[in-house]
């Protein structure tokens, strides 16, 4: 794709050291030492305790302890508890192994203490590549950007995602695709991030069907993790729009599951924005090997047997009006102006599980 004459942009690269490949967890000691860490606190969810213990065993005396209480959306109480534990143990580094919830906990610690984070992601959410943090207090999730929370080192080892259940692998992969799709029409888009976005979409559109065919296939897992890395980088570098706003509203106000909500909303958000972002849609469609971005994402999700409706995620139908109102609060950039009637229709289609209009 050639650069149009009127194109001007600012590009700031943010540095994270990435170690990628099957078995790359073997480099953990080297990477911990490169960060100068002598007392690392290992973070995980209760469900990933065994993986955290494996990490602790690998780094041996460099491990100060394990904190296994990460939960989705980082409740402030959990963040405070983890910060206290990190202080008491004299931790000089946080090693986060798991999905976006565990990365988020590491970020909440780093936000106050500036501890370096070494991230070992096992889902495709992409938080490890972003300076975005989120903390939930009194039922309200606040997000922000701060360079201190960007992990310094990321170990992408596809072997560690082998146990990620197939359904979650699919929806988590589409969560990643959403970052790239919105990155292509971001107000601060730039050619480098657009290249990564298109390649990330292509990698996941190829990798996810391979995973569904053979869920333990390491090549397919590598392909998806590679795509997730690129899509997460896009999320970390350019602004998101309507799709992410709707998902945060649905997740934050109605407690809908994160990756599944992204999966249901993405085709509809793309259909809404399509008339105002033709070049982005063309690039998304090309990456998916289809003619139409919105229909292509919907067809992919259907083929992967992912959820297609808000109804099946438990969204109460009578809340769609209020949800539309919340999504219209606080102006944010979007290629197509936000129109109440059209947004309400978008949510109705998504609730019913219809193909995008
Ligand atoms: N700040 C940012 O840039 C971003 C933040 N996020 C945030 O991250 C959260 C969502 O992240 P997401 O990764 O989807 O969700 P989680 O981190 O909550 O993980 C989802 C599920 O995956 C399971 N899981 C994770 N790894 C494995 C594994 N290796 N094997 C088996 N099961 C596994 C977990 O099981 P178990 O509970 O048993 O561990 C959990 O049930 C949200 O709060 C979202 O807002 C998401 C993207 C970007
Ligand atoms: O809510 C957060 O913690 C920050 C960003 C995201 O969750 C991105 C997303 O919606 O996937």
Please give the chain's pLDDT, 357 residues, in tens. Answer: 677 776 788 888 777 899 999 999 999 999 999 999 999 999 999 999 999 999 999 999 999 999 999 999 999 999 999 999 999 999 999 999 999 999 999 999 999 999 999 999 999 999 999 999 999 988 778 899 999 999 999 999 999 999 999 999 999 999 999 999 999 999 999 999 999 999 999 999 999 999 999 988 999 999 999 999 999 999 999 999 999 999 999 998 898 999 999 999 999 999 999 999 999 999 999 999 999 999 999 999 999 999 999 999 999 999 999 999 988 987 889 999 999 999 999 999 999 999 998
Q: Ligand 1: which of 96, 258, 260 to mutate, most ligand atoms within 8 Å of CB?
A: 258
Confidence at residue 4, expressed as pLDDT on a 0 to 100 scale: 72
- The helix/strand/coil state of 275 is helix
Nearest CA to ligand 1 atom 3: 127
Could you give the CA distance from residue 67 to residue 63 in angstroms, rounded to a whole number? 11
Decide if 115 contacts 109 (C-beta within 8 A): yes
Residue 255 CB–ligand 2 contact under 6 Å: no
Q: Ligand 2 mean position to 303 CA, how many Å? A: 25
Task: Supply 34's token pair.
Answer: 């490169």
Task: Supply 156's token pair.
Answer: 């992408």
Q: Ligand 2 mean position to 296 CA, how many Å? A: 23
Confidence at residue 1, expressed as pLDDT on a 0 to 100 scale: 64
Strands 117-121 and 93-98: parallel
Confidence at residue 252, expressed as pLDDT on a 0 to 100 scale: 83
Ligand 1 pocket (Cβ < 6 Å) reads 45, 47-48, 72-73, 98-102, 104, 122-123, 125-127, 130, 132-134, 160-161, 163-164, 168, 172, 235, 258-259
Count other Cβ atoms within 10 Å, centred on residue 129.
28
Q: What is the pTM (predicted TM-score) of this model?
A: 0.96
What is the distance of C-alpha 89 from the center of its chain? 30
Residues near 230 by beta carbon (within 8 Å), at least 6 away in sequence: 180, 196, 197, 199, 200, 203
Q: What is the DSSP letter of 75?
A: B
Confidence at residue 115, expressed as pLDDT on a 0 to 100 scale: 97
Phi/psi at 53 (5° precision): -65, -35
Confidence at residue 330, expressed as pLDDT on a 0 to 100 scale: 79
Count other Cβ atoms within 10 Å, centred on residue 246.
26
Phi/psi at 131 (5° precision): -90, 20
Complex-level ipTM beyond the 0.90 threshold: yes
Nearest CA to ligand 1 atom 27: 164
Confidence at residue 16, expressed as pLDDT on a 0 to 100 scale: 86
């Amino acid at each position: 794709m050639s650069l149009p004459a009127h194109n001007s942009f600012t590009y700031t690269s943010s540095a994270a050291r990435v170690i990628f490949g099957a078995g790359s967890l073997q480099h953990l000691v080297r990477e911990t030492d490169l960060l100068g860490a002598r007392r690392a606190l290992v973070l995980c969810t209760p469900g990933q305790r065994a993986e955290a213990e494996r990490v602790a065993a690998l780094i041996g005396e460099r491990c100060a302890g394990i904190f296994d209480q990460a939960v989705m959306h980082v409740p402030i109480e959990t963040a405070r508890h983890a910060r206290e534990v990190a202080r008491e143990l004299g931790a000089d580094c946080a090693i986060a192994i798991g999905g976006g919830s565990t990365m988020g906990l590491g970020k909440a610690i780093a936000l106050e203490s500036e501890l370096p984070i070494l991230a070992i992601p096992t889902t495709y959410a992409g938080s490890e590549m972003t300076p975005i943090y989120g903390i939930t207090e009194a039922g309200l999730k606040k997000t922000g950007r701060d360079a201190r929370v960007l992990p310094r080192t990321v170990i992408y080892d596809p072997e560690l995602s082998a146990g990620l259940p197939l359904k979650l692998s699919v929806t988590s992969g589409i969560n990643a695709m959403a970052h790239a799709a919105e990155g292509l029409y971001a107000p601060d888009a730039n050619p480098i991030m657009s290249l990564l976005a298109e390649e990330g979409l292509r990698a996941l559109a190829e990798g996810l069907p391979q995973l569904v065919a053979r869920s333990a296939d390491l090549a397919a897992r590598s392909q998806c993790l590679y795509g997730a890395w690129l899509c997460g980088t896009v999320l970390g570098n350019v602004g998101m729009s309507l799709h992410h706003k709707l998902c945060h509203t649905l997740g934050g106000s109605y407690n809908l599951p994160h990756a599944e909500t992204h999966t249901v909303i993405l085709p509809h958000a793309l259909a809404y924005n399509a008339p105002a972002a033709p070049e982005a849609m063309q690039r998304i469609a090309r990456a998916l090997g289809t003619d139409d971005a919105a229909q292509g994402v919907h067809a992919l999700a259907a083929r992967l047997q992912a959820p297609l409706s808000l109804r099946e995620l438990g969204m109460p139908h009578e809340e769609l009006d209020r949800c539309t109102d919340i999504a219209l609060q606080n102006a944010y950039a979007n290629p197509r102006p936000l129109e109440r009637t059209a947004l309400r229709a978008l949510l109705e289609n998504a609730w019913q599980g219809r193909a995008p209009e």
